[in-house]
A and B are shown apart, each in its own frame.
Chain A
Amino acid sequence: MTHAPMEKLARATPRPVARRISGLSDRAIAWIFVAPSIFLLLAVNIFPLIWTVRLSFTDYRVNRPNRDVEWVGLRNYERILTDDGIWATMQATAHFLIWTLVLQVLIGFALAFLINRKFRGSDLWTTAIVLPMMLSPAVVGNFWTFLYQPQIGLFNYAIGFLTGADPASFSMIGDVALAPWAIIIADTWMWTPFVMLICLAGLRSIPESIYEAAECDRASKWRQFWTITIPMALPFLMLAVLFRGIENFKMFDLVVQLTGGGPGNTTTLTSIDLKREAFERWRTGYSSAYAVILFVTVFGLASIYVKALNKVKER
């Protein structure tokens, strides 16, 4: 070992001196360890963010690099905020967001509540339930179009089998009224396990002794559920809603593969609309302003929500 003489010397000297001789100071180590990460995050996360803000005040177009770029001030923002199409997109996103959250929280919590009964084989079934969320949303979303095929699709067949409807009589993806539900069902199938896992963590964090005390006071199971289980699991539920809310606000891969935003614009969520503006119409400046607006929206909503969450935690 080449270190051997160094180590012998280090052992013989008092500690601070030893460190100065045989290694870098803690401060230097700290910097060496953190700097590469900070640099990469600055280059790939922060710098693009600043660039987006800058571009949002211009009429730059990626597909016409030779054209002079003009500063247009706030005109991009003005055009976006007064555009009816964008409000329709926002509504589609809100519809998707609200229903996926409601369904995923209800089903996810119910599943976690049941799994917490600790029946035999609960680990095995939990793993089975978690599988969908580990998979590639784009690949799975693409396959859901097959499940949703009128007549031959498994989904249509199952619905037909359960309700007696003709499986060829409806098209989940082609129908204006059904398509928004097609993406909600697929997303709920995929992401309910995530809510379930967080709820399960919440339920497992409740100390057994509280229930024992309630039992001594002869509180009914129903009362225990509403006065112990729900309030104690609430911060976790809210955390799950926060994560799912942010993720689904950005939703792109699953939906773009499933419906591509159609029919018409019924399932054109904001990310899909943004992709069209930026990478199909190549309105770079305009779409940068769009991106900034989306970011500010999520950021604002999330900040308010986190404040509420902290209040619930303090109680």
Chain B
Amino acid sequence: MSFSVTAPSPAARWIAGLLVALYAIVTLLPLAWIIATGFKSPADAIAYPPKVLFEPSLEGYVNLFTTRTRIAEADFAALPPPGTWYEEIVRDQGMVIAGPSRYGERFLNSVIIGFGSTALCMVLGTAAAYAFSRFRVPLKDDLMFFILSTRMMPPIAVAIPIFLMFRQIGLNDTHLGMILLYTAVNLSLSVWLLKGFIDEIPVEYEEAALIDGYTRFQAFRKVVLPQAATGIASTAIFCLIFAWNEYAFAVLLTSGTAQTAPPFIPTIIGTGGKDWPAVAAGATIFLVPVMVFTILLRKHLLRGITFGAVRK
């Protein structure tokens, strides 16, 4: 025990802990409910009172990944017994599998666009941040203001001319178009964050490298990059989460080939009313990776979330 006049008393700590834990549990309920609903049968999902204990079912997940149809009763009776467990689940609903749903494609699009834009943003952002940190670049002081002002525009407002521009050059509804767009949206904040990380690396290291005969570029690659790796990684995660979650541009600029998961998941409907277990299953698969990431990398994420305010 340290003797400090300002440290909170054990009782105060206890009460604080209790209140925070209470808030955390309440705030996690909707998330727990999403995950639980994904494993409910449709009847259990809409039961009253809401069911906390239920018999787990994979119907939601099967419905998420398949499209199903009803066939004539005679044909249905004449079918051979179901060959797989998921066929059996569909048969129990009185239907047959017609084919795969689009969820897999949409999820893959989210992966391609998310990782593609993050990679591009890191390449461009690290280079620009290094230049801003080490050289005299005109407009340097306006950077923060510029970042703030690009964030002020509602995405819908920017989407109008981007829609026109993309249509003109054939980038509408393409992976490349979305990657470029998300890169641009993330870039200003990334440069800001990365500059902070690179500022912390002592210039002396590079100067030593330069005296040793490294070129500027070699010094950047072999001295600065390894030192900034943690900063780059945490900025990258931040960009990835933005691109992963983005909805407004995705819903306006993509409809078919390049549509990502966020605009797709809300459109999942079942036969006769919304298929909530399937929606919840789709949401779970989409959200859980981010939750895991957040828990594993909490220390590194905080700086990105608070736009570097934590550091100052």
Binding site for B on A (CB under 8 A): 3, 7, 10-11, 15, 18-19, 22-24, 26-27, 29-30, 32-34, 36-38, 40-41, 43-45, 47-49, 51-52, 55, 62, 107, 111, 114-115, 117-123, 125-140, 142-144, 146-147, 149, 151-154, 157, 167, 189, 194, 197-198, 201, 208, 211-212, 215-216, 236, 239, 243, 246, 249-250, 252-253, 257, 270-271, 274-275, 278-279, 284, 287-288, 290-292, 294-295, 298-299, 302, 306
Contacts and interface: CB of A to CB of B under 8 A. Distances in A.
A143 B127 contact: no
Contacts of A189: 27, 30
B176 interface: no
Contact of A36 (B127, B164, B310): B127
Contacts of A121: 17, 21
A215 B306 CA distance: 31
B302 A197 contact: yes
B85 interface: no
Contacts, number: 311
> Secondary structure at chain A's binding surface: helix, strand, loop or mixed?
helix
B127 A257 contact: no
B244 interface: yes
B109 to A, nearest CB: 14
A152 B48 contact: yes
Interface string B6-40: 10100011101101110110011111011001000
A293 B207 CA distance: 49
Among A129, A149, A151, find the residue whose CB has the most chain B CB atoms closer than 10 A: A129
A302 B148 contact: yes
A146 B156 contact: no
Contacts of B283: 139-140, 142-143
B49 A49 contact: no
> Secondary structure at chain B's binding surface: helix, strand, loop or mixed?
helix
Nearest to B260: A136
19 contacts: A15-B211, A38-B128, A41-B188, A44-B162, A117-B16, A125-B17, A125-B20, A128-B24, A129-B24, A134-B291, A138-B265, A139-B265, A147-B30, A152-B47, A246-B151, A250-B153, A252-B155, A274-B156, A284-B160
Interface string B205-216: 000001111111
Interface stretch (B65-73, B129-137, B227-235): B129-137
B290 interface: yes
Contacts of A133: 305
B265 A40 contact: no
Among B150, B213, B217, B266, find the residue whose CB has the most chain A CB atoms closer than 10 A: B213
